Structure 1
Amino acid sequence: MGVSRGNWRQARKKYAPKTQKEVGLRYGFRSGLEETNAKHLEANGIRFGFESIKVRYTVPESRHTYNPDFHLLENGIFIETKGKLEPKDRAKHLLIQMQHPDLDIRFVFQRPHDRIYKGSPTTYAMWAEKHGFKWATQVIPLAWASEPGPKKKPEDVLGISA
Structure 2
Amino acid sequence: MGATLPPEYEYETTRLPYTTAHNYLPDFIDTDAKRIVEVKGRFPASDRAKMKAIRQQHPDYTIEMRFQNPNTKIAKNSKTTYAGWCEKNGIEWSQA
Class of the TM-score when normalised by the shorter of the 2 chains: 0.7 to 0.9
How far apart are the structure 1 equivalents of 2:41 and 2:81? 13
How far apart are the structure 2 equivalents of 1:69 and 1:134? 15
Gaps in structure 1 of 5+ consecutive residues: 1-59, 139-162
Structure 2 residue 47 is the aligned partner of structure 1 residue 94: no
The equivalent of 1:117 in structure 2 is: 75
Provide TM-score, normalisation by structure 2.
Answer: 0.76
Structure 2 residue 85 is the aligned partner of structure 1 residue 127: yes
The equivalent of 2:21 in structure 1 is: 63
The structure with the largest alpha-carbon Rg is 2
Q: CA deviation at 1:76?
A: 2.7
Q: CA deviation at 1:103?
A: 1.1
State the one-letter code of the partner of 1:95.
A
Structure 2 residue 94 is the aligned partner of structure 1 residue 136: yes
- Aligned counterparts, 1:12-161, within 5 A: 60-72=18-30, 75-138=33-96
Provide TM-score, normalisation by structure 1.
Answer: 0.46
User: Structure 1: which 4+ aligned runs deviate by more than 6 Å?
Assistant: none
- Cα RMSD (Å): 1.3
Q: CA deviation at 1:75?
A: 2.5
State the one-letter code of the partner of 2:87.
E
The equivalent of 2:13 in structure 1 is: none
* Number of residue-to-residue matches in the alignment: 79
User: Helix, strand or coil for the counterpart of 2:56?
Assistant: helix
Gaps in structure 2 of 5+ consecutive residues: 1-17
- State the percentage of identical aligned residues: 42
How far apart are the structure 2 equivalents of 1:65 and 1:96? 10
Q: CA deviation at 1:61?
A: 3.1
Q: CA deviation at 1:95?
A: 1.2
How far apart are the structure 1 equivalents of 2:87 and 2:55? 13
